[in-house]
Structure 1
Amino acid sequence: MLGSPTLCNIEPEKDMAQDMEGDHKYELQDMKKNKKKQLGGIKTMPFILANEICDRFAATGSHANMITYLTKELNMPLVKASNTLTNFAGTASFTPLIGALIADSFAGRFWTILVASVIYELGLVSLTVSALLPQLHPPPCPAQENCKEASATQLWIIYLSLILTSLGIGGIRPCVVTFAADQFDMSKSKVESRSWNFFNWYYFCMGMASLTALTVVVYIQDNVGWGVGLAIPTIVMAFSIIVFLSGSPLYKKVKPGGSPLVRLTQVIVAAMKKRKEVAPHATDCLYKNRELDAAISSNGRLLHSDQFK
């Protein structure tokens, strides 16, 4: 975006003074930050990893065998059960876009993960309660012939559970990895290799959590009972919330810097409005706003470029 040519010619000293004042302001803020207790770092990783391991275990354990629960426990026709789970999977794939937008725009990653985890837990609790209470599902039908299908009320409880878990996934999945990356200061030496080590452990733990859920939890659901089989992921998810919350004093909580979608839209609109403007030769006349740029740049200011004019 271009500055006003008139202001550039008349008040260059004022702009320079404001720029120096802004630099001094941010230097003081940096000094205050250095005096504070160092947050983030490798000490936060056990809490974040434990939270994500429990979340992946709970998600896989509660949904991997859901088609069996709908057809054998709720006596739902196979086609209807497949459509229900397909709609749920589509919703769960879309909600991370909304969760990321909320986290980047105003809520921040920490609070988005925490609130989404609670919503996810509510969905698991309602799903477990529906499996434990006989009045919330139709009577058993071992022969699977002429079975009584679940009532509308019983189905709506299942739908509500799936919706809550979809919303929870939307807030957790897009934020956990980036929240973990926020804990590392990439400007320091040897931090980049540590972050890579973290992500190696992250994906290894996710695979092990999913494998354990697919074997242990699914076996319990098929051979012990659905009440116990769904209660285990519910308890594990509750434990993950406690672990994640207990690490709160150690986390580096980066303030939301605004959604990139919003900034992209602003740039497009500004470019269209000023498409006929002539770029000034003096860089002091170009757009500068250190306060807005600080959240989306590594050195506190976006540098001007000769490209994309």
Structure 2
Amino acid sequence: MEDTKMEDSSNQREMSHEEMPETHSKGGLITMPFIIANESFEKVASYGLVPNMILYLIKDYHMGVAKGTNILFFWQAATNFTPILGAFVADSYLGRFLTIGLGSIFSLLGMILLWLTAMVPQSKPPPCDLMTQTCSSPTSAQMTLLFFSFVLISLGAGGVRPCSLAFGADQLDRRDNPKNVRVLESFFGWYYASAAISVLIALTGIVYIQDQFGYRVGFGVPAILMLLSALVFFLASPFYLKQQASKSLLTGFVQVIIVAYKNRNLTFPLPNSTASYHHKRDSNVVAPTDKLRFLNKACIIKNPEQDIALDGSAANPWSLCTVEQVEELKALIKVLPLWSTGIIMSINLSQNSFPVLQASSMDRHLTKKFQIPAGSYGMFNIISLALWVIFYDRAILPMASKIKGKPVRIGVKLRMGIGLFLTCIAMVVSAIVENARRKEAIRSGFQNNPTAVVKMSAMWLVPQFCLNGFAEAFTAIGQTEFFYSELPKSMSSIAAALFGLGLAVANVLASVVVSIIDDITSKGGKESWVSSNINKGRIDNYYWVLAILSFINLFYYFLCAWAYGPTGRQATKVKSIAG
């Protein structure tokens, strides 16, 4: 869920503030159902594929747990990274309408290919031979088809998710409307509500369909939903306001780095020589700060006649940057250490495969006839996050403010620290519960039968999901708020891009951790901790490794928070220094 919430919150800050056309013949509330339905259907379809995918890879593609988990980690990494590329492409080249449209088509094609792997027997290995207990490995062509479907789905998410909310805001942002702010607020509320409901439906309804009717139906339903997503979006095409692409902030960062390197041999101007630096007209920031001074060479004017155009802008932005561009990059670099402290928590939150395997071997019955699907336990993460946000905002803060007699809020750095501590505890609880489950399986004689169901309720897995949900509520939301408050307003779109990048890095590192543990623990013919037979493996020890890494990361966070100093708007600091 962390990737859903943060991707959505990014788009709110990413929306364009360009002036709207005078005519009001396009846009407006009539477009809202189509835009919201587009991303809602995409979320239900794509998120519904993830929970049971490890079971599909193990049973139908005869993969080991370690290999299947690594594939899913890389898939999640790609899905979290492509929205950054999608935002760049939309801002710089295609615009939001085309980016969302192409993303919807890519997602649809990917889900159709994935559905074909379940429908066409030749697209995956034949069933295992029960007599000889042998299983055929998938061929290169079969794996290529599977991976290509994953790639298309990730590309589709990269087109839809970073642009959808901003595109909706474009339709409603009418500066001449006195109720403009209220209209936008209402739209954001409905958008976030639909996003949360979509993920819950994915983790319950789609997973239940896969469990009850198999993957032919379970993959077919998401494909149909994605078809509806694309159709409803394009159906309203004549009514949309379609703004043109403009310069991307990421392009500005690249320009600063390149120009600073090209000017590396230049000498710095004399102190207080503000005329030697290029800045925007009427800007309060006329000279760069001394921090990361080597970047200042990107805005040094070498030859005013050649470097400056008649309108006061740079004649060639790849040869001269503004002071504002330089300071924006510095602000980004300053928050990177604290950004990196959230990666370990994201690794913990991305542990989807092992809990599904654990739940499938435990008693999941709520009644005699109904049991919770193994892939649906992730919903407790979302539920706990949502409940805590409501309780914190509507009960704790008002009560504390009433007692204190003044407005009370928990500092953003304190909230991030609390969340990192909670994710440590979540990993400890995960290790303890898995140790108890494994002992019960061995005691019941199931050591060689990983599919057997032990006499232990799967509800014992709920506390770890709830703790991770609380951790996400504190750290993920707090970290995004921190980025928004510390970076200049012109960089608001970068805040969510940072979180998405953190998720992508976390998925890759999670795969590395699994591979290292698998290689080390399986040496000498020993059973790997992440064995395909979870009763012989030691997933509890794997969780202990994550717990230790989380505690180390917590101390690293304390160091980064201390080094950062007091929080405050970075743009204000720059202006005061320049003044």
Is 1:287 matched up with 2:312? Answer: yes
Q: TM-score, normalised by structure 1?
A: 0.76
Distance 1:89 1:193, change over 3 A: same
Unpaired runs of 5+ residues, structure 1, are 1-29, 290-296, 298-304
Unpaired runs of 5+ residues, structure 2, are 1-18, 283-309, 315-489, 491-574
Is 1:252 matched up with 2:241? Answer: yes
Kept after mapping to 2: 8 A contact 1:113/1:171: yes
Cα distance in 1 for partners of 2:72, 2:84 equals 20
Cα distance in 2 for partners of 1:175, 1:249 equals 18
1:47-87 alpha-carbon deviations (Å, 9 max, x no partner): 00111110001111222211111111111111110010011
Kept after mapping to 2: 8 A contact 1:186/1:192: no
| Mapping 1:1-309, distance limit 5 Å | 33-34=21-22, 36-141=23-128, 145-187=133-175, 188-266=177-255, 269=259, 276=269, 278-279=274-275, 287=312
Cα distance in 2 for partners of 1:43, 1:239 equals 18
Cα distance in 1 for partners of 2:251, 2:121 equals 49
The letter of the residue matching 1:166 is S
Distance 1:199 1:138, change over 3 A: same
Cα distance in 1 for partners of 2:72, 2:155 equals 15
Distance 1:165 1:308, change over 3 A: farther
1:256-285 alpha-carbon deviations (Å, 9 max, x no partner): 111112234556749x789746539xx799
Aligned-pair CA distance for 1:107: 0.4
Distance 1:147 1:199, change over 3 A: same
Aligned-pair CA distance for 1:146: 3.0
The letter of the residue matching 1:43 is I
The letter of the residue matching 1:259 is S
Cα distance in 1 for partners of 2:130, 2:222 equals 29
Cα distance in 2 for partners of 1:38, 1:193 equals 21
1:205-252 alpha-carbon deviations (Å, 9 max, x no partner): 112122122222212212212111100000110111010001111111
Cα distance in 2 for partners of 1:48, 1:247 equals 9
Cα distance in 1 for partners of 2:149, 2:58 equals 17
Kept after mapping to 2: 8 A contact 1:74/1:149: yes
Cα distance in 2 for partners of 1:286, 1:134 equals 65
Cα distance in 2 for partners of 1:308, 1:178 equals 33
What's the % identity of the aligned pairs?
39
Distance 1:98 1:308, change over 3 A: farther
SS of structure 2 residue aligned to 1:177: helix
The letter of the residue matching 1:230 is F
Kept after mapping to 1: 8 A contact 2:128/2:135: yes
The letter of the residue matching 2:250 is L
The letter of the residue matching 1:146 is T
Kept after mapping to 2: 8 A contact 1:40/1:252: yes
Aligned-pair CA distance for 1:307: 7.4
Cα distance in 2 for partners of 1:250, 1:167 equals 26
The letter of the residue matching 1:105 is S
The letter of the residue matching 2:108 is E
SS of structure 2 residue aligned to 1:183: helix
Aligned-pair CA distance for 1:121: 1.0
SS of structure 1 residue aligned to 2:163: helix
Cα distance in 2 for partners of 1:220, 1:84 equals 23
Cα distance in 2 for partners of 1:156, 1:58 equals 22
Distance 1:181 1:274, change over 3 A: farther
Higher relative contact order (CA 8 A, sep 6+): 1
The corresponding residue for 1:302 is none
TM-align CA RMSD = 3.1
